[in-house]
Amino acid sequence: MPKKKIIVWFRQDLRRADNPALYEAYQEGAHILPIFIQDDKNSGQYKRGAASNWWLHYSLKDLNNNLSDHMAFFKGKADDILPKLIEESGADAVYWNRCYEPWRTSRDKKIKKQLEGDGVEAQSFKGTLIWEPWTIQTGSGTPYKVFTPFYKNGCLGKGDPQEPLPVPDRLTYADKPASAVSLDKLGLLPTDIRWDKKIEPYWKIGEDGANEALFNFIDGGANTYSEDRNRPDKNNTSRLSPYLHFGEISPRTVWNEIRKRQETDSTSLSDTKTYLSEIGWREFCYNLLYHFEDRITDKPLQEKFEAFPWESNKQALQRWKVGQTGYPIVDAGMRQLWETGWMHNRVRMIVASFLIKDLMIHWKEGERWFWDTLVDADLASNTSNWQWVAGSGADASPFFRIFNPITQGEKFDPNGDYIRRWVPELKNIPDKYLNKPWDADEDTLKKAGVKLGKDYPKPIVDHSSARERALEAYKKVKNAA
Ligand code: FAD
């Protein structure tokens, strides 16, 4: 009997280890046709940003190497491409791991129906999350809106996740179809200005890079994670976010390795628990995205925030984007993002609060900038976190919690190492003035070689009055409630 031929459709699961769709096809002893479709048509406004496209290119390259150059790439609408590909390849089945973005879930449902209608087997698996949104519900059968019960009762209540699946040890492949294009033809890399060259040295993209990041973290930052995860000057977080986003490592693998290390080694229970709860936040964001769709991506989850009087200020937005606000911790964060495609979580909260509350610019503007520039840009995590900072999301930080960019910098970058690294023009400013250079006297500034307004901008707004203005504006929301 001829072997079954299975298309394994890779999407946000660009790995061999713990990949349920690939593993199932392997266990069936099938001829496997691994594919990726660059589907910019169905994604609409959620077309991947430039930094994500860059990452994706190298992630696909790595996966293709690991699959001995058998990946077949396509560009276009997945719902057009798949039926044609089945005809061309004679495949019997299509397997994939589920995604949860609204545009993907509706597309995938349509495709499943279409394939089954054509007599082709279509199977989807869980590979991107540990707990899928529809499996975690409150006692009354509604989705959770608050993180702690979601995580404690919902997720942890289900016990530890299963052991991850191994890498299939020998795969047999189907012939690559003639209609496949080369990876380069997907057009994921920037063409004119090669800004990606500056980001490249910061990352090792692919499955090996993901495992390296995980084990470096386990041997290092994990041991003081609870205490130091808020310190952008230290290298204490895992930096696994882009790998998790593109699925170069599964959340189940991360969870299991962290748990194993805690049981056998020195990592304390509290550090482990804190770290695992961050993985829980990722799951929570997907839970929100799945259940609330455009009320999390486009509109405030709390409707009363529709009354907020946002301001349009192109010049201020631009200065925020390029790290020229005159607030050193904000500028350091925005420049780290531009230079590396990533920003520390504490600083993401500070810069987001600054845009929303000090500048009163709509959180969607910040979300779009992050979407284009972050290598870990993720619809669920990005939109939920922006809404969290704006105070308009589920289980959000209250609007009146306005981060003070001066004291935040002093507290979380106490020696000024982070600011001095990313805002080098301030490197000779004494610690006392590093977060508020405008308070330094002429002599101090002169000695540090800084002329405010020339070498480094004067503050774009006065934080105290901006804070008052934001609180005044917030009254509109309160009154609308
Ligand atoms: P670690 O501290 O090592 O955490 C481990 C993992 O837990 C992360 O890789 C991530 O998958 C998850 N995680 C941690 N914190 C959060 C959180 N608050 N929400 C959801 N998951 C979390 N994260 C993204 O992956 N993509 C985004 O587009 C994104 N946009 C954000 C926008 C704003 C305004 C803010 C405040 C946060 C955003 N985050 C986003 C969440 C968080 O900042 C990053 O996940 C984290 O900084 C990644 O670094 P790490 O891998 O070293 O994190």
Angle between helices 328-340 and 314-321 (to 10 degrees): 70
**Along the 481 residues of the chain, how does pLDDT read in single tens digits?**
678 999 999 999 999 999 999 999 999 999 999 999 999 999 988 999 999 999 999 999 999 999 999 999 999 999 999 999 999 999 999 999 999 999 999 999 999 999 999 999 999 999 999 999 999 999 999 999 999 999 999 999 998 899 999 999 999 999 999 999 999 999 999 998 899 999 999 999 999 999 999 999 999 999 899 999 999 999 999 999 999 999 999 999 999 999 988 777 666 778 899 999 999 999 999 999 999 998 889 999 999 999 999 999 999 999 999 999 999 999 999 999 999 999 999 999 999 999 999 999 999 999 999 999 999 999 999 999 999 999 998 887 889 999 999 999 999 999 999 999 999 999 999 999 999 999 999 999 999 999 999 999 999 999 999 999 999 999 988 887 7
CA 247 to ligand 1 center in whole angstroms: 15
Q: Which two tokens stand for residue 329?
A: 């911790």
Question: Would you say 32 and 25 are in contact if contact means Cβ atoms under 8 Å apart?
Answer: yes
Mutation choice for ligand 1 from 229, 231, 282, 364, CB with most ligand atoms inside 8 A: 282
Q: Which atom of ligand 1 is nearest to the CA of 240?
A: 51
Burial of 399 from C-beta contacts in 10 A (0-12 / 13-18 / 19+): buried
345 tagged catalytic: yes
Compute the C-alpha angle 393/125/293, nearest 5°. 20
Quote the distance between the C-alpha of residue 350 and its chain's center. Answer: 17
Residue 378: closest CA among 204, 143, 128: 128
The atom of ligand 1 lying closest to the CA of 351 is 34
Among 215, 275, 376, 388, which is best to mutate for testing ligand 1, by the most ligand atoms less than 8 A from CB? 376
* Secondary structure of residue 33 in the 3-state scheme: strand
**Is 245 a pocket residue for ligand 1 (Cβ < 6 Å)?**
yes
| Catalytic choice (54, 203, 342, 386) | 386
Rounded distance, CA 291 to CA 102, Å? 9
Provide the b/e sequence for 327-366 (b: ≥16 CB within 10 Å).
bbbbbbbbbbbbbbbbbbebbbbbbbbbbbbbbbbbbbbb
- Supply angle C-alpha 314, 50, 383, rounded to 5: 65
